[in-house]
Each structure stands twice: as C-alpha cells, then as structure tokens.
Amino acid sequence: MSENVTVGQAFQQGMREEMGRDETIFVIGTDLFIRGGHFAQVKGIGPEFGADRVIDAPISEAAMVAAGVGAAMNGMRPVVDLNFMDFAFGAMDELVNQAAKARYLWGKAVPLVVRASSGIALYAAQHNNSLEAWFMHTPGLVVVMPSNPADTKGILKSALRGEDPVVFFMHKRLTGARGETGGPDDLVPIGKAAVVRPGRHVTLISSGIVVQKAVKAAEVLAGDGIEVDVIDLRTILPLDIDLVMESVRRTGRAMVVTEEPPYASVASEIAASIQEEAFDYLDAPVARITAAHAPIPHAPQLMEALLPQVEHVVQAVRGSISRWPSSEEV
Amino acid sequence: MTETRAVAGPDELIEIQLDGVPLGDLEEWLETMLLIREFEESLEPLTMSGTQIPGSVHQASGQEAVAVGAIRALEPQDLVASPHRPHHHALAKGMTARVVMAELWGRTTGCAGGRGGTMHLNDFSLGYFGSNGIVGAAIGIAMGAALAAKLRKTGQVCVGFVGEGGANTGRTWEFVNFAAMQKLPLIAICENNQYAVETYIGRSAALVDSIARRAEGFGLPSVQVDGQDVCAVYRAVHAARDRAARGDGPSFIEAVTYRYRGHNTGEVANYREQDEVEQWRRTKDPIERLRRALESAGLVDQGRFETLEENARAAVEDAIRFADESPVPDPATATERVTALPVDAKGPAQ
Amino acid sequence: MPEIAIPAIGIAMTEALLVKWHKQPGETVEAAEPVVEIETDKATMDLESPAAGTLGPHLFEPGAIVPVGTVIAEIVAEGAPATEAPEEAPESSAPAEESMPSPTAVSAAAPPATDARRPHDKSPRARRLARERSSAEPRREKAGRFRDLIAAKVAESWREIPHFAVTREVDAEPMISALQALRASNVKPAPTMTDLLLRALALALRERGDRDGHVGLAVATEDGVVIPVVRDVLSLDAASLAGARAAAVERARTRRLNADDVATTPTSTLSNLGPFGIDHFTGIVAHGQTSLLTVGRAVPRVVADGDRTLSVRTTFHATLNVDHRSIDGADAAQLLVAFAEAAELITPDF
C-alpha cells in the first residue's frame, strides 16, 4: 500500500489482493505460472495460488477468451491475459460476439477481465496495433486504460468486482513507470477521468502513455504563460465526458492527443462530442493530435517519426492560440 | 473405436436396438421427438408470411435423435450450448414450445425477450447456455463452463454442439485441444448432417468419412455413431458423461444425421436430390425407428402413439397461438441492458 | 473591402440588436440599399450598403446584441470571395484582451496561416459572452464602457477630421438685454444664454445654406459628454426653445436619448463652457457633423471702439471648429461672422 512501485507491480498487488479476497478469480494465459507473463504482470502469483488459479494456456487466444466467457457465465471471475493486445485478433469472435452480447441478449452477466499490454513500442507492425477504438466501438464492452500504478491497481479492483466484460489496456512502455498505490479496498472507479495538471487556457485530453507527453508539453507551455489543463481519461468507455466538458467550458480550447492512427480513433469520438456539446464555449476547433496512418515499423527513427511527440503538442497549442485567440480575459 | 455408417437397402427401415437405455423413459423420449418434429415442421409457413416470424430459421427435422439421445444421457445440472440450428436442443433440454416459439416471433414472452431470435435462445435456469450464431462458438462456451465446473467442483458436465461445417473452423479444435489438455468435463458433439448450407461434406474436408478421427488426433476419446439411432447416441453420450464425471476429461462424439429441410426456411435446395432425402426418411427416420422398436417391445402401441402425436400437435398449435398473442417489445427498451456500468447510448432519439 | 458596421448614432449608443437581414450572403446589393435592420436604445433603423457588390457572410445572426463599431458584414466585389474580417479588430465596447504568450514564442511556433487571422470576437464563445454581458450588466460597468465609447469616437474624429478653428469676440450685451426682458415677462421655462446661442447658431447655419435647422448641444453628464439634438430651432419661440433645450439636457443626463437624437445628425453642435469659467477653447467636431461652436464666458472686457477709445463691454469668445474637408477658411469665417451678427442682433421677440 502506498509505496513506490511500478505499474507491473501494482497490477500484481491488485491481483494478489483480489485473488486472496475472492476465490472465484483466476488468471489464464500463456507463460503465466512460472514466468509471470511477458511483462511480469503476475509474477509469483502462480506458485502462491496454485495451478488452478493461474492456468497456463496453449497458444490459442480463442480458447483462452472462450474459456473466460464460459467460466464467467458459470460462476467464476476470470482474468484472461493475452500478453499482447495484438493477439486479440485471434479472439475477436469471443470478445465481440460472445462476451459483449450475453448481457444484452440474455441478461447474463459476463464478469470477465481481458488484460493485455498495448501501445507502441518495439517489434514492429504486428505487435503495435491500437485497438482501443475497436473495443470502444463494440456495444457491451467496457474499455479501460490506466496510466499509473495507483489507477492500474484501483481500476483492476473495480473491474474484478464489477459485472461487465472489461478490456484492460496497459501500455508496454509504462510497465516500469513508478508511483504510489492504494490499499486493498481502494477502488478507482471505472468511467471517471482525472485532471493530472490544472490549467486555465487549454484542455489537453490524453490517456495511457500519452499522459506523460501531455504533462511535459504542459510544462513547456507554462514557460509561455499558457496553462494547460491535462486530463487523463483512465477509462475509454464509459467516457467521462462530463469532466472533459467542465474543463472545456472553462478554457474554451480543446485538443486530444493519442498514439492511435487518426481515422475513426477514440480521439475522433471525443472531438466530435466536445464540439456537439460545448460549441458555444469554444474559441477554436477541437484538434486531434494523432499518430500518422501507417503500420509501425521496426527502426526506431521511423517509428518515432510516426508518433506525436511533445513538440508536436506544444506547436499545436501555440498554433491554435495564434490562429484563434482567446475571446475572454483570462 | 469407430463405427462405420450404416448401409441400407433402398426401402427398408433399419431397426434399432433398445440396449443400454432406461426403458421406462423411452415413451417420454418419443414424445419429445414428436414435439420437435411437429415444431420444426410448423415453421416454414410462419417465416414466409412476413407478419409472424421475422426472417428465416434453421429447422432440424430429422435430427431429433441427436438432441434427445444426447440430452437424455445428461444429469439435470449439466449444461448444453448449441449452434445456429438449436430448437431441438432447446426443447430437449426442457424449454417449452411456447417460450421458444415466442422468441422466434420476437415477442417479450420469448426466452430472450425477443432480443435473440432463433439463433440466441437461452435458459440458464435449465442449464441451456444459449444457442449461438457463430459455428464452433458453442463448444467454446461449453468448454469455459466446464472449466468453471472443474474449478468449482460442481459436478456439472458440459455439452457443446457443432456441425460438420463448424468442425472446419480453427476455433473448434482450439477449444477441443484446450479441454483435452485441461481434462475438462466437456462433451463435444459434432452433429454431422452432411451439408453445411449447400456444401456436402465431401467437398469441404479431405477426411470425409470421419470427423471423429480428427478429434482422436487431439488426444480425445472419439466415436462416430448413427445419429438417427436415439439409443446409440444415448449410449455414446452416457459413456462420455461417465468419463467426464470421473475426471478423465472430454470426449468427442460424431453423430451422423440428416436434415430433411433445407439449411433454412424458404430455401430452394438445388444442391441435393430429393431421392436422397426420401431414402433417409424411408430407411433411417429416427422417430419411426424408435416407434417401431417400442411397438415391438410392447411399450407403446399404435393408439398411444397417435395420442402422443396429437399431444405434440396441440402443443405446437398452442405455442403458435401464444406467440401470436404475446406483446412485441417496447421500442423504448432497445438500449437497455448493454453493460452494467452506465454508458450513454446516444442514438437517433437523443 | 467595404464593410457594414454598427454605427454609433448619437454618442450615447453602445450597441444594437440585430433584428433582421434584408439581404442574404451572395445576393447583389446596390450602394445605399438597405441590407439589415437594427434596433438601438429607442429606435429601429436600416443600415445601408456602403457600396455596390455582393453581400458577404452574415457575421451575426438576428437576435445578436452587437457592440458599436463591430463589422457585421462585408461587401465583396462581384465574383470575388469574401475573406475573413480585417486584421485590425474594430474598436468596440466589448473588452477583448487576450492572454498572450510572448510574441516571439507565438510567431516562431505558429503554423503557416493560409487564412487571415480570425478576430476573437467572432468565436462561438465570444458571441455567447457578448450576449451574456449585454443581458446582465450593472450600471457601473456601462459607465466604464461609455467612457470607452467616447474615447473611441473622439479618437476617430481626431484621426479622420482635419481640424482648424476660427475665433471671434462677440458683444454679449444684446443677448443679456434680451434675456432680461424675457425673464421680466415671465417666460417659462426661463430661457438661458444657451438658448440664445442655439438660436444664433441656427440662424447662421441657415444663412450659410443648412436646410435642416437642427443643432446638437453638448451636455456634461456624470458619465461624460452626451450630445442630444434640439430640432427645428428656428421654429421655436423663446419658451418652446427653452423647453426643448431643458428636455434635451434631461435626456442627456438620464441617458435616455430618443429616436430623434439617434436618427438626426445635425450639421453643427454648440458647446458652452462659459459657466465653467472658460474664456475660449477648441473642440473636436462630432462624427458626421461639419463644425462645432465652442463658446466661453460672457464677462466684462476692455474693448477698443472704432475711434480707438477704450470702453468696457460684456463680451464672449466664440470659436468655430471645422472639418477642413468640407469647410475652408473663408467658409468658416463667414459662418462664424454670421453667428456673431445673429447674436449681436438678437431681440426678445424671436
């Protein structure tokens, strides 16, 4: 509780505490029992809880997720660990047609957590897909994306005590990010965003690893006298649009930063919602700062060239203020 | 050990033996099979009228023995999940003709409140874990439920049905392999009616004579049975159930059967000869074979049989009337119950 | 590009309500053709197109409260596309500071702007703020804005009008005698020097070709100078003129100018600082007028008569400030002399 741990360790803490509290919780995935997963996310939990609670699966995401769905429908609370979110493609029917629809069709709850490491890092295109929009787009799924240890642990607890199928995104590059965590009953609610750095002039909306870039951009802009309200969404769906709108109504200027490719991104959904609901409060069009529309390549220089960096965010804010100055004395 | 398909003379009904089955239950088996046949045969005009059953449905006329034989071999707490041709499984598992019919009609009194239709029936209180529009998916649900049964030590055995067409999907074998590795209490029943939509199995699989042999390759006890012989199906599933209940893991049963109707209501079948259909009716009709055996054993006479037929007809007529008189769902409820956590549904009415 | 902006009609006007557009974007308009209807404090009027051409986009919608000076539409040349509003934000009474980062940082980072910079008073937020401000405004803030308006107007006059002034010392004794006689005959309300000055100025203007007969009167109020209009001065007898002047002053002090004050632009205005102890002064011609008569105090002064003997007479200094664009030195001189003669010939029975 409240020590300085990594995101990976925070997830372990959460799993350990919840599995101790509720014997219907188990984990299934590849290389979990001994290795603890490809990101050490459940390291040590296998030997501690036994092979019935940490189940090594063959390489079949379809089987893992189907096992999770069926088990969730028969009294358990499974965590399916896909290791890499890119492997979800092999379980798309299980996630979208099975897990997401049982409640709507039958009133049958599927209390399932599907965790995977996500986001842009290494290993090139097939291991660097951004799937948050795919799952946000699927009625029946809940999608979360914590960006720090406290939220990782707290949101995991909320997911494990909830009644919905939750797709749990953890950015690969955040695995080692450090911070404090809460205690055994400190739940972070799903569906609530957080302001990580307050400001009066611009609302900057981010999630996952991009939160760090947004904060760095805010620090640079503070030197210009521009104060940025940085929002960490924490949950993709249900989206905390109320908190976003409250900020935009104050600042009059909104930008969404994401690692996703641009078309039909989560950022697009947020931008559309803001201009629909806060039009009379805007001084400028809502901007999306996204990655480029390309698969992710291997060479780091190529990869970084596709992604939005701190300076892109800074330039976008400055450019917006220059082109559409604020209408209010702030 | 595999059995080969029975070979028949052109006109004779091939008799079945009442071995290894609970004789006192057989009249109920017959009655259920008659209900299924009557139910399935009533559907074609209902889907064609445009005002009764929206869309088409997949009838299982001719496959009654697979459903009844398999499900009668289970215990009450056992679970069943089936694919897109599910009415016979649902009725055999104990769902009433009324709630199934009303669901096909999309009425609130249907087993899914009108939200599921023919491919998404369910009754979790009876252990019917849903029919599924995705081939192979039912085995996955049953496999997951079997995992929970094992972990929670509930004593349940879980049955997942798949067709021979669905047995060509990768997921079917991913599920089977996982169940075998974990020794799950699963019975995978491949209902081989030999036609996947319009494609005869001979054109979709190299190993055309046996799907059970594929399962052997994954390490499961596997058997091919005459799916038109309700007692043969019962015996095979009963043995599989014992195995699963002992903790010896899953089994694979291929039941060779035949559907008299097309893939769905309203189909014009150009892919097979009517002679073939007639031959299966004449030689291996599952209801007639059971009736003949019960008559020979002195368990059900002709009068009793006609009463059972009449019961089935009355039940289906009642179900149709029930569905017709049931309310349609309130459009205002269309966005309810998507997730437990509230999500703004938005949509056209906002 | 020719613009239609909310004019300041009468210096008290701070904003107008946009009532109705008569012409749509893209329509051809003639010079002086009415384009839009606005409503000021007490009057409704049309604004005319300053030039022939095509009307550009409506920058404000009916129902909008628009500050004086704000551009509400542009006239584009036939076929030319309307551009964004001009670089310089027009002076308006709406406070519009920006929180600006240092100019170097902004310009260094700004992306290449293909459009002209969009003034901040056009964003949806700016329009909402303007609506909210105009609907819930305390008097005090209005006074501050009024000062801003005066500042804007005099600055505009100062910038645009090439001023010069001519001065004449005028014998006040005929006016003083006339006033005494009028007071003795109990004319109510009691006339003052200002009334006689108004009449003298009106006479001079008529002699110099002014047909309207209206004169503006500069009135000092607690919020600043207000200029109501005294109409048809020469048609009024002493009592009526006194009443009209008193009413004008009252309107000015309570900031309730009427339609005539707003709609009428006189040729000239009288400003009398004599009561304030001033001998002579120059002033700034009001927007739309061509001259301003500034008058000092009537006090005994030493004068030299034609035969170079000294005597003491009560005199006042009159200065005529003119717009050189329409009035040259000789015209100014003649107008001022006409005023002086009218003043020196005044009688009580006008």
CA distances, B280 to each of A241, B201, B315 (Å): 62, 16, 27
Q: Is B touching C (3+ C-beta pairs, cut-off 8 A)? A: no
**Best A55, A56, A74, A104 residue to mutate vs chain B (most B CBs within 10 Å):** A74
Nearest 10 degrees: Cα torsion B130, B135, B137, B138: 40
How many of the other CB atoms lie within 10 Å of CB of B266?
13
Among chain C residues, the shortest Cα distance to A252 is held by C125
Tell whether A20 is covered by a domain.
yes
> B120 contacts in A (CB within 8 Å)?
101, 105-106
Q: Under CATH, to which class is B28-262+270-333 assigned? A: alpha beta
Residues A154 and A232 in one domain: no
Residues A288 and A174 in one domain: no
Residues A125 and A238 in one domain: no
DSSP letters for A154-188 = HHHHHHHTSSS-EEEEEEGGGTT-EE----TT-PP
Gap between the Cα atoms of B307 and B200, Å rounded: 37
Among A155, A250, A223, CA closest to A194 = A155
Those chains having 3 or more beta-carbon pairs within 8 angstroms of chain A are B, C
Which pTM value belongs to this model?
Answer: 0.69
Residues A172 and A218 in one domain: no
Domain termination residue (choose one: A151, A181, A211): A181
Gap between the Cα atoms of C108 and B18, Å rounded: 92
Mean pLDDT of chain B: 94
Tell whether A255 is covered by a domain.
yes
- Rounded average pLDDT over B279-302: 96
Tell whether A7 is covered by a domain.
yes
> A289 contacts in C (CB within 8 Å)?
none
Gap between the Cα atoms of C269 and C218, Å rounded: 7
CATH number at residue A141: 3.40.50.970
Give the pLDDT confidence score for residue C80 in this predicted structure. 55
Give the pLDDT confidence score for residue B18 in this predicted structure. 97
Tell me which residue in A225, A281, A315 faces C101 most closely, judged by beta carbons: A225
Indicate yes or no: CB of A97 within 8 angstroms of CB of B140: no
C243 min Cα distance to partner chain A (Å): 46
Give the pLDDT confidence score for residue B65 in this predicted structure. 98
Counted domains in chain A: 2
Give the pLDDT confidence score for residue C65 in this predicted structure. 82
Q: What is the ipTM of this complex?
A: 0.91
- Rounded average pLDDT over B3-16: 66
pLDDT band at A2 (very low <50, low <70, confident <90, very high): low
- Rounded average pLDDT over B67-86: 98
Tell whether A330 is covered by a domain.
no
Among B235, B263, B277, B255, CA closest to B191 = B255
Rounded to the nearest 5 degrees, what angle is found at the Cα of A149, between the Cα atoms of A144 and A151?
Answer: 40
Gap between the Cα atoms of C66 and C38, Å rounded: 10
Whether B350 shows a pLDDT value over 70: the answer reads no
Domain containing A26 equals: 2-181
Indicate yes or no: CB of A103 within 8 angstroms of CB of B132: no
Gap between the Cα atoms of A82 and A101, Å rounded: 20
Tell whether A238 is covered by a domain.
yes
On whether any CB of chain C is under 8 Å from the CB of A146, the answer is no
Residues A27 and A172 in one domain: yes
> A66 contacts in B (CB within 8 Å)?
137, 140-141, 143-144, 171, 175
Give the pLDDT confidence score for residue B327 in this predicted structure. 97
- Rounded average pLDDT over B101-123: 97
Comparison of pLDDT for B349 and C265, the residue scoring more: C265
pLDDT band at A328 (very low <50, low <70, confident <90, very high): confident
Tell whether A138 is covered by a domain.
yes
The DSSP secondary-structure symbol of C102 reads P
Indicate yes or no: CB of A74 within 8 angstroms of CB of B148: yes
Comparison of pLDDT for B347 and A208, the residue scoring more: A208
- Rounded average pLDDT over A109-119: 97
SS3 letters across chain B: CCCCCCCCCCCCCCCCCCCCCCHHHHHHHHHHHHHHHHHHHCHHHHHHCCCCCCCCCCCCCCCHHHHHHHHCCCCCCCEEEECCCCHHHHHHCCCCHHHHHHHHCCCCCCCCCCCCCHHHCCEHHHCEEEECCCCCHHHHHHHHHHHHHHHHCCCCCEEEEEECCHHHCHHHHHHHHHHHHHCCCEEEEEEECCEECCEEHHHCCCCCCCCHHHHHHCCCCEEEEECCCHHHHHHHHHHHHHHHHHCCCCEEEEEECCCCCCCCCCCCCCCCCHHHHHHHHHHHCHHHHHHHHHHHCCCCCHHHHHHHHHHHHHHHHHHHHHHHHCCCCCHHHCCCCCCCCCCCCCCCCC
Give the pLDDT confidence score for residue C78 in this predicted structure. 59
Residues in contact with B348: Cβ distance below 8 Å, sequence separation at least 6, in sequence order: none
Contact at 8 Å (CB) between B184 and B144? Answer: no
Judge if C3-137 and C162-344 fold alike in CATH terms. Answer: no
How many of the other CB atoms lie within 10 Å of CB of B332?
8
B287 min Cα distance to partner chain A (Å): 32
Give the pLDDT confidence score for residue C109 in this predicted structure. 39
Gap between the Cα atoms of C291 and C323, Å rounded: 6
Contact at 8 Å (CB) between B250 and B176? Answer: yes
Tell whether A329 is covered by a domain.
no
Give the pLDDT confidence score for residue C47 in this predicted structure. 87
Lowest pLDDT segment from A297-311, B8-22, B150-164, C102-116: C102-116
Tell me which residue in B146, B174, B342 faces A62 most closely, judged by beta carbons: B174
Single out the catalytic residue among A127, A201, A298, A312. A127
Tell whether A149 is covered by a domain.
yes
For C166, counting Cβ atoms within 10 Å of its Cβ (0-12 exposed, 13-18 middle, 19+ buried), the class is buried
Among chain A residues, the shortest Cα distance to C111 is held by A319
Q: Please confirm, yes or no, whether A127 is among the known catalytic residues.
A: yes
Tens digit of each residue's pLDDT (9 = 90 or more) over B243-285: 999 999 999 999 999 999 989 988 877 888 888 999 999 999 9
The CATH classification of domain C3-137, taken from the options 2.40.50.100, 2.40.30.10, 1.10.443.10, 3.40.91.50: 2.40.50.100
Gap between the Cα atoms of A47 and C200, Å rounded: 111
CATH number of C162-344: 3.30.559.10
N-to-C CA span, chain C: 50
CATH number at residue A201: 3.40.50.920
Lowest pLDDT segment from A107-116, B41-50, B336-345, C121-130: C121-130
For residue B302, the one-letter residue type is Q
Contact at 8 Å (CB) between B109 and B322? Answer: yes
Give the pLDDT confidence score for residue A3 in this predicted structure. 76
Lowest pLDDT segment from A225-229, A234-238, B302-306, C104-108: C104-108
Indicate yes or no: CB of B340 within 8 angstroms of CB of A163: yes
On whether any CB of chain C is under 8 Å from the CB of A281, the answer is yes
**Best A328, A329, A330 residue to mutate vs chain C (most C CBs within 10 Å):** A328
Whether B336 shows a pLDDT value over 50: the answer reads yes
Whether B8 shows a pLDDT value over 60: the answer reads no
Give the pLDDT confidence score for residue C43 in this predicted structure. 60
Among chain A residues, the shortest Cα distance to C87 is held by A323
Quote the tokens at residue C129. Answer: 């703020």
Give the pLDDT confidence score for residue C89 in this predicted structure. 38
Indicate yes or no: CB of A66 within 8 angstroms of CB of B137: yes
CA distances, B16 to each of B74, B226, B254, C138 (Å): 21, 10, 18, 99
Indicate yes or no: CB of C125 within 8 angstroms of CB of A282: yes
Contact at 8 Å (CB) between A25 and A45? Answer: no
Tell me which residue in C99, C115, C123 faces A201 most closely, judged by beta carbons: C99
Among B82, B254, B213, B272, CA closest to B158 = B82
Give the pLDDT confidence score for residue B10 in this predicted structure. 67
Domain boundaries, chain C: 3-137, 162-344
Residues A26 and A169 in one domain: yes
Find tokens 């509780």 and name the residue: A1
Those chains having 3 or more beta-carbon pairs within 8 angstroms of chain C are A
- Rounded average pLDDT over B316-345: 96
Mean pLDDT of chain A: 96
Domain termination residue (choose one: A124, A147, A181): A181
How many of the other CB atoms lie within 10 Å of CB of B312?
21
> A318 contacts in C (CB within 8 Å)?
101, 105-106, 109-110
The DSSP secondary-structure symbol of A136 reads H
A193 min Cα distance to partner chain B (Å): 14
Indicate yes or no: CB of B177 within 8 angstroms of CB of A60: yes
Low-confidence ranges of chain C (pLDDT < 50): 11, 82-118
Helix (H/G/I), strand (E/B), else coil: C250: helix
